[in-house]
Amino acid sequence: MRSFLPAALCCLLLPAFAMAAAIPDDPATGAAELGKPDEDVPYGVAASWLLGHRLLVDGRPADALPLLHQAYRAQPDAMPIALDFQAALVAEGYVRDALAVMDKLVEAHPDSASFRLRRSALLARNGNEDGAMADIRALREQGQDTARLLLTEAGLLDRAGKGDRALELLRAGLPRFPDAAGEIYLEMAGILQRAGRGAELADLLAEAVRADPDRPALWVLQLQALVDAGRDEDALALAREADRRFGLGAPGVEGDAGDGSPEQARIDVGLPADSFVVELADHYARRQKVDQAITLLQPLAARGELGLNASLWLGRMLLGTGKTDEGAKLVDGVTKRWPKAPRGWFLKGKVAEAASDWPQALGLYRKAVELGPDDGEVRLSCIRALLVAREKAAGGTEAKAALATRRKELGEHCTAAAALITDQDTGGHMILGYGFRAGGDLMRAAEHFGTASADEELRQNALIQKSLCHDELGEDALARADLEQLAREFPDNAEVANTLGYWLAEKAIELERAEKLIRQALATDVGNGAYLDSLGWVLYRQGRFEAALDFLIQAVNVLPEDPVILEHLGMVLKAGGQPAQALDVLKRSLSFGADEKRVGALVRELEAGPAPAKAKR
């Protein structure tokens, strides 16, 4: 919808304006032009309409609707108000109400082709094909014959299952409306596609390009039709011809689409952002023919004919298909040619990550974040690298100060990334959950794990992690609710059974059920170190120290550097009357990162030895 008021006039402190205006010729056009001032229009109505119109133009129909409704109730005969109101109704899905508005406009202006066409389209959308066609017939009886009428009638015929009749009608209209040939051919192509008649598309679109060679969309559609028909050589020849005609394929310059760059300027006039050859490669990629897309793009990259976005896309495809050396070489070229492009350094980080060089990957991701702080994917990759670095440093090889600094950095990245990703990016929310948890913000971690749990593939792990956050926060009821929900949804899952069983053992409640759950998990995955530890721990809680010792020794043999398992073994040894062995194991636990406050207290107690016996009197 076009705006017919300068932005500066769209405020509440305005004199009233008249609403009577000329009827627009094009049904796709927005509200009509304003007329001269009219003192009879109340100030409040004009203000509501003007603000509602501005919201509608800005793509906020839900906010515009109550204001436009208020204006329409006061001035239902004011054409611009009625047009804006029905447009807002349609945008929000209230088609029947919009039809009621258009009925009144058609009744008031029976000779308006525009209004009848609008109503015809709404009737068809509401399932009233007969009513829609009646409006078309009425216009024909009035002697109307326009390209818009032709296209609307053809669309109605196609919806009614009369595709052949629609195609005949459109072809007959080509000589009558040569200036609209491009739109007519596009409609014909759409009818063939919807009918599954793809074999006819390539020839039709070749005819369309000859008739309207300056319409880029026709060239793109012909490219796609040729590919779908298996005519790859013809498609490539056509793409190159189109690039020559429209002057595309020149070396790209720094910039991304959307920032006023040449790529954006091309898109604004309907041209591909890079070239028709790149557009062809994109079509191959969408058809899961990635190797063909790469084959098309690599020569262009070698000649420096790819812009930034296409170069990045090629780099991702190379890395994603295991062509790491080629991808690394291309990414090096991207960072040299566009040194300020954050995505180039991001891909360079991906190369380092693929080589398991996490320190280098982290440095590259940090650089990418510095250059592109508002890129959510880059932030998430940096968070992942920080988490890996934290895990590798968990053995106590890094000083406390450095760990604190990294934890602070992790929190900053997580806070920034949380504002950049959508709820639909469940994988991103999973990473944020881990990041916030590692950074010590358990409440936000639980929140993001909860969002991630909407994804069926992530749900199990997300709810387990969420329960752990609640547990650490002391929110036992919430932690248990998550685990019980998992037990209902995944009754045969070993990890779920072990997690719930271990939680019950930690709380020293329902120990028989806890033992049953953990043994169920072990029966599924015999020899799992974590499950052996859980069973040893529940037996310890039951006071069965000898049986607990056996399972915990097995667990340590599987996971000899796990601080929690070592802590459990130390406590069992202490309870079983073996203080020297317990002290040794607990010290090892501390060396691998066990909780210093809790385990340290046990170590100091054992080092002090048993309390001296009181002398008898």
Are 439 and 463 in contact by the 8 Å Cβ rule? The answer is: no
Are 72 and 101 in contact by the 8 Å Cβ rule? The answer is: yes
Residue 256: predicted pLDDT: 44
- Measured in whole angstroms, how far is the alpha carbon of residue 248 from the centre of its chain? 31
- Measured in whole angstroms, how far is the alpha carbon of residue 15 from the centre of its chain? 45
CA gap 342, 420 in Å, rounded: 16
* Closest to 152 in 3D by CA, of 171, 138, 165, 133: 133
**413 in any annotated domain:** no
Are 386 and 410 in contact by the 8 Å Cβ rule? The answer is: yes
Residue 132: predicted pLDDT: 86
Query: Which residue's entry shows tokens 């916030």?
Result: 436
Are 498 and 521 in contact by the 8 Å Cβ rule? The answer is: yes
The answer for residues whose C-beta is within 8 angstroms of residue 217's C-beta and 6 or more apart is 182, 186, 270
Residue 432: predicted pLDDT: 97
**136 in any annotated domain:** yes
DSSP state letter for 561: T
Whole-number CA gyration radius for the chain: 35
Complete DSSP assignment for 249-313: -PPP-S--TTTT-HHHHHHHTT--SS-HHHHHHHHHHHTT-HHHHHHHHHHHHHTT---HHHHHH
The boundaries of the domain holding residue 78 are 1-144
Strands (E), 302-390: none
Angle at 611 between CA 607 and CA 615, to 5 degrees: 150
Buried b (16+ CB within 10 A) or exposed e, 291-324: ebbbebbbebbeeebbbbbbbbbbbbbbbeeebe
**35 in any annotated domain:** yes
Mean pLDDT by 10 residues, the chain (617 residues): 31 29 35 38 74 92 93 90 93 92 91 87 86 87 87 88 93 93 93 90 93 92 91 94 86 43 59 90 93 94 90 95 95 96 96 93 96 95 91 55 79 95 95 94 97 96 97 96 96 96 96 96 94 96 95 95 94 93 94 89 87 54
**27 in any annotated domain:** yes
Is the pTM for the entire model greater than 0.95? Answer: no
**82 in any annotated domain:** yes
What would the two tokens of residue 466 be?
């969420």
Domain count, the chain: 1
**25 in any annotated domain:** yes
Burial (CB count within 10 angstroms: exposed 0-12, middle 13-18, buried 19+), residue 397: exposed
Residue 3: predicted pLDDT: 34
**414 in any annotated domain:** no
DSSP state letter for 24: P
Are 54 and 113 in contact by the 8 Å Cβ rule? The answer is: no
CA gap 325, 319 in Å, rounded: 8
135-144 CB contacts, 8 Å cutoff, 24+ apart: 135/106, 139/113, 142/111, 142/113, 144/113
Kindly state the greatest CA–CA separation across the chain. 126
Residue 548 corresponds to which amino acid?
Answer: A
DSSP state letter for 178: G
* Closest to 318 in 3D by CA, of 304, 334, 305: 334
**301 in any annotated domain:** no
Check which CATH number belongs to the domain holding 37 and give it.
1.25.40.10
* Helix 456-472 with 476-489: angle, nearest 10 deg: 150
Residue 269: predicted pLDDT: 65
Residue 16: predicted pLDDT: 30
Burial (CB count within 10 angstroms: exposed 0-12, middle 13-18, buried 19+), residue 127: exposed
Q: CA dihedral defined by 391, 397, 400, 405, rounded to 10 degrees? A: -50
Burial (CB count within 10 angstroms: exposed 0-12, middle 13-18, buried 19+), residue 429: buried
Are 39 and 16 in contact by the 8 Å Cβ rule? The answer is: yes
Residue 583: predicted pLDDT: 94
The answer for residues whose C-beta is within 8 angstroms of residue 403's C-beta and 6 or more apart is 390, 393
- Count CB atoms within 10 A of the CB of residue 250: 13
Residue 139: predicted pLDDT: 86
Residue 393: predicted pLDDT: 58
CA gap 531, 138 in Å, rounded: 78
